[in-house]
Structure 1
Amino acid sequence: MPADRPRLLYVTDLTYPAKGRRYGDEDVHLAARLRADFDLALCHPLDAAALMPGFDAVVVRNSGPVLGYQKEYEAFRERALALGTRVYNPLHGRGDMAGKQYLLDLTAAGYPVIPTVDRPEDLHRLPAAPQYAVKPEAGADSIGLRFMAYEELAGLTYGGLLVQPRIDFRYEVSFYFVDDLFQYALYAPDPERRWVLEPYEPTPDDLVFARRFIDWNTLDHGIQRVDACRTPEGGLLLVELEDLNPYLSLDRVAEPVRERFADTLARSLHAFLAA
């Protein structure tokens, strides 16, 4: 291999027990494609901080919810910033990478997002609903999620908790981007089986909706997933803006789509390293 090929440290937890998803399979196949363009080594997220020197960039992929290793993740971020190590996705993302504060910010700014508050004095701003979702601001993968009646919300100990109305939605749909380039969309026709995904053909209005959040996040490079729900009235509301380590469900799309995604990712990484 040429000596001047870029060196990537690819961060993944191949054995993370994700419900309905196979992190390991996805990363093995995607890393194999990237090896055509880069010298690449896989490592566990707990080893990334120690191993990052000597690589041109660290690519954070399916590393699992950082809630389980928050201290080590913060140490990784601090060391990467101190060393000037390039991290993909870049560490200034405003979505899930920075916690769930963006749901509060987007609610306040009037974006089409599930209304979200984090203080008891703001509960009156939420629309009436049979139940309300309560979850940790630093949560992921539904960790710590519970549903409560409105009368119970005043008794919560606030500070690090988010409250949202429980939305009666028709289905969930996700839009996948590399940089600002739309790649594909998937949806779960059955709300009770949210990990059983099928290809989805977005409308022009759907893409306008998704791009609003890509533009808001201001990441020049990186993989982003915009998760939304379709309301009974037909509109879309943002559920999550995943910009840290979004699972891609590449096994649910046709091979040409997978290949195009991998090629686009490789070009994005080359551009990221050249910037």
Structure 2
Amino acid sequence: MASILYLTDLYYPAKGRTYYEEDIFIAGRLMDHFDVALCHPKNSEAFEDSADVIVFRNTGSVIGYKEIYRAFRERIQKNSLRTFNTFTGKADMLGKDYLLELTKLGFPVIPTVDCKSDISLLPASDRYVIKPKDGADSIGLEFLSDEELSQRHIADHVYLIQPAVEFEYEVSFYFIDDKFEYAMYAPNKTKRWEMVPYHASEEDIRFAERFISWNSISHGIQRVDACRTIEGELLLIELEDLNPYLSLLQTEKDTQEKFIVDLVSTLNNCLKEQTPEL
């Protein structure tokens, strides 16, 4: 039986999310098909070479262990480690600069710049959002009026600057590899992680698939986060391709079963392939 080193942080204090419940559920189901060992990324080095595949799951923000994460990525390449997700993504696993690229490419994303001198490139707004590029879980996020922004010193290329978009709700689309699995949304926009199942239209799914196609992950779980504007348009908030929380236990039982079946299938496919070059 193939072996999985399942990286997680069961004690990560995620607001509104229960990482340990989700990962215990997923790991428990994977144990029906693989030999599974759970480990924190800070302690994984000693066990990496003995695993057939390393599954990177709810490990929390890597801000808390930047150097350990950097060294882990170096070992992936140096030791040809097989990982899931594959570490070839261009989105959150590399930071937030992809939002700048997607803005320039004309994708349906909340317009983003990283220099005050480029604010004229954004749609006019009375309020703006600034957040550090290496932030997570809204750490360092601020809302500023147009006047406050003009008076605030903001270091170039350190913060993202976006117009504060009026929206009806946030919605997330979940994929295994390039296959759409399910969608969830937060009916109350003040309670981001109180998620319920969302019936995604074909147009909604096509929206999310554009970002999955743009990214370069061969195997992995990705979450496309978007907001529905008051005009009815979907705009990307972020593409989480590193360790997305899945709200899986808030989905229907049939959805959970399908997700596990597809996850086992793609892990088996991943095990048959050579490790990709980073």
Local SS of the residue matching 2:46:
helix
Q: Quick one: which amino acid aligns to residue 231 of structure 2?
A: E
Local SS of the residue matching 1:117:
coil
| Correspondence for 2:117 | 121
| Correspondence for 2:166 | 168
Q: Quick one: which amino acid aligns to residue 200 of structure 1?
A: Y
Structure 2's unaligned 5+ residue stretches are 274-278
TM-score between both structures, scaled by the size of structure 1:
0.96
Match of 1:148 among 141, 144, 147: 144
| Correspondence for 1:103 | 99
C-alpha separation between the residues in 1 aligned to 2:192 and 2:9?
22
TM-score between both structures, scaled by the size of structure 2:
0.95
Deviation of residue 112 (structure 1)? 0.1
C-alpha separation between the residues in 2 aligned to 1:111 and 1:74?
29
C-alpha separation between the residues in 2 aligned to 1:202 and 1:76?
36
Please list, as runs of the form range in 1=range in 2, the aligned pairs for 1:1-275 lying within 5 A after superposition. Answer: 5-154=1-150, 155-275=153-273
C-alpha separation between the residues in 2 aligned to 1:173 and 1:159?
28
Deviation of residue 136 (structure 1)? 1.0
Identity of matched residues, %:
52
Deviations 1:158-177, CA, capped at 9 Å, x for gaps: 23211011111000000000
Q: How many aligned residue pairs are there?
A: 271
Structure 1's unaligned 5+ residue stretches are none
C-alpha separation between the residues in 2 aligned to 1:189 and 1:142?
19
Deviation of residue 143 (structure 1)? 1.0
Deviation of residue 6 (structure 1)? 1.1
Deviation of residue 131 (structure 1)? 1.3
Deviations 1:54-73, CA, capped at 9 Å, x for gaps: 11111000000001111111
C-alpha separation between the residues in 1 aligned to 2:108 and 2:256?
30
C-alpha separation between the residues in 1 aligned to 2:100 and 2:148?
21
C-alpha separation between the residues in 1 aligned to 2:148 and 2:114?
15
Deviations 1:77-112, CA, capped at 9 Å, x for gaps: 111211000111111111101100110000000000
Q: Quick one: which amino acid aligns to residue 112 of structure 1?
A: P
